Amino acid sequence: MNIGKTIFSQLMDFLPAQEFRRCVERYKGNYKIKSFSCWDQFLCMAFAQLTYRESLRDIQACLRGYQQKLYHMGIRGKVSRNTLAHANQNRDWRIYADFAQILISQARKLYAHEDFGLELEQAVYAFDATTIDLCLSVFPWAKFRQRKGAIKLHTLMDLRGSIPTLIFITHGKVHEVNLLDDLVVEPGAIYIFDRGYLDFSRLYKVHQSRAFFVIRAKKNFRFHRLSSMPADKVNGVQADQIIGLYGFYARKDYPERLRRIRYLDTKKKRRLVFLTNNFPLEAFTIAELFRCRWKIELFFKWIKQHLRIKAFYGTSENAVKTQIWIAISVYVLVAIIKKRLKVELSLYSILQVLSVSLFEKTPLFQLLSQNRDDEKNEDFSNQLNLFN
């Protein structure tokens, strides 16, 4: 006798099913599909992410072992390895990309007032990319080097809550700086880049959009000093200067003044030079903003460690993008649940608990809150934790 809902069903109840149907209709995902709909595909792939399945055969074996519970989990179609492989290869990946963006917009509202270490009214974003290595003979479309394949995840992250705002998936040969052309700049926001994005023509477009940027300068960066401002050397700021660019093409690409800040990181014992078009903020705040950029590095390491985005269930470009976008949806869904249920567990701990309890019929809040006091005494220093 069925009493209550499984944990998996309770998780999926947080998803906006109507919005998912609109995404499917937009790309005609269920056109001529008699069984195993796009929703069935999403649920099976979400199950694989939550339970760390290694292959399509693993997914099939696990779900068929609980055949009687699949209907109550929302899976109406028959689960088979071939059917799921065909769906991943042929169902448009943009369905799941659009749906992930809907979840991201919900999560951003929940984390809009989250503290990220600095008291600033503006939105603060970090933009960076990570590379996922692939076998070129198995993934011939993922071009990177002569004998090596890869894809890149270009990510714009809202530092309030570590929520990925935009994600672009390209093959490995696409240089990171080219994605700045696809970036829709929010006026008044602050964008943080590493030195690989130092392209003055593109940075000037950010400036013309009335947004601010903070970027690390390269070692061979050439400039001429116009004036200097007092430097707070107690906090590590060694120089705070107003500069102009040196060179005909550099001045043509960025004709206005810039602010150059030289900072000494005493912990890591290295000198860093930052460039920004933000003149009102204190120099130490600029340095702290760049330090917060490491949240996106932590995000990349975290998803590679805890989500299935390094080993793929299919070899086509569509299958790879589908798996990545569903993995991002699961990540954002768990972040939403953590905030709405006001759970004190870290995101890592929530995923670990869910991975072994999806078929149980315990209330979700009870499951996630019963060990919250124990977690404070545990040492997870060897794990990458977000949302602490």
**Helix or strand run (H / E) with residue 225:** strand 223-229
pLDDT band at 51 (very low <50, low <70, confident <90, very high): very high
Structural domain includes residue 111: no
Structural domain includes residue 169: no
- Report the C-alpha gap between 89 and 315 in whole angstroms: 8
Please indicate, yes or no, whether residues 265 and 326 belong to a single structural domain of this protein: no
pLDDT over 70, % of the chain: 95
| Residue where a domain terminates, one of 277, 304, 331 | 277
For the chain, how many structural domains are there in total? Answer: 2
Structural domain includes residue 145: no
pLDDT at 318: 96
pLDDT band at 84 (very low <50, low <70, confident <90, very high): very high
Structural domain includes residue 110: no
Please indicate, yes or no, whether residues 79 and 16 belong to a single structural domain of this protein: yes
Task: Render 18-60 in DSSP notation, one character per residue.
Answer: HHHHHHHHHTTTTTT--SS-HHHHHHHHHHHHHHT--SHHHHH
pLDDT at 120: 87
pLDDT band at 242 (very low <50, low <70, confident <90, very high): very high
* Beta carbons of 124 and 192 less than 8 angstroms apart: yes
Model confidence at 231: pLDDT above 60: yes
Please indicate, yes or no, whether residues 19 and 91 belong to a single structural domain of this protein: yes
Look at 69 and 247; give whichever has higher pLDDT. 247
| E strands, the chain, in order | 124-134, 143-145, 148-158, 163-171, 190-193, 212-216, 223-229, 237-245, 258-265, 270-276
Please indicate, yes or no, whether residues 320 and 262 belong to a single structural domain of this protein: no
Structural domain includes residue 119: no
In the three-class reduction of DSSP (H, G, I as helix; E, B as strand; rest coil), residue 18 is classed as helix
- Report the C-alpha gap between 105 and 126 in whole angstroms: 17
Structural domain includes residue 151: no
Residue whose C-alpha is closest to residue 286's, from 231, 249, 338, 244: 231
Please indicate, yes or no, whether residues 321 and 267 belong to a single structural domain of this protein: no
Please indicate, yes or no, whether residues 11 and 91 belong to a single structural domain of this protein: yes
Please indicate, yes or no, whether residues 331 and 261 belong to a single structural domain of this protein: no
- Report the C-alpha gap between 167 and 102 in whole angstroms: 13
Structural domain includes residue 82: yes
**Structural domain range at position 228:** 200-277
pLDDT band at 277 (very low <50, low <70, confident <90, very high): very high
| Residue where a domain terminates, one of 277, 303, 327 | 277
- Report the C-alpha gap between 16 and 309 in whole angstroms: 24
Structural domain includes residue 60: yes
Please indicate, yes or no, whether residues 262 and 206 belong to a single structural domain of this protein: yes
Please indicate, yes or no, whether residues 324 and 264 belong to a single structural domain of this protein: no
pLDDT at 386: 54
Range 61-85 average pLDDT: 85
Look at 182 and 232; give whichever has higher pLDDT. 182
pLDDT at 12: 94
Range 279-291 average pLDDT: 93
Contacts of 131 (CB under 8 A, 6+ apart): 144, 150, 151, 152, 172
In the three-class reduction of DSSP (H, G, I as helix; E, B as strand; rest coil), residue 242 is classed as strand
* Beta carbons of 244 and 258 less than 8 angstroms apart: yes
| Residue where a domain terminates, one of 277, 301, 334 | 277
Q: Which amino acid is at 84?
A: L
- Residue 214: which CATH number? 2.20.25
* Beta carbons of 152 and 174 less than 8 angstroms apart: yes
pLDDT at 371: 62
> Which residue shows structure tokens 């995902």?
29
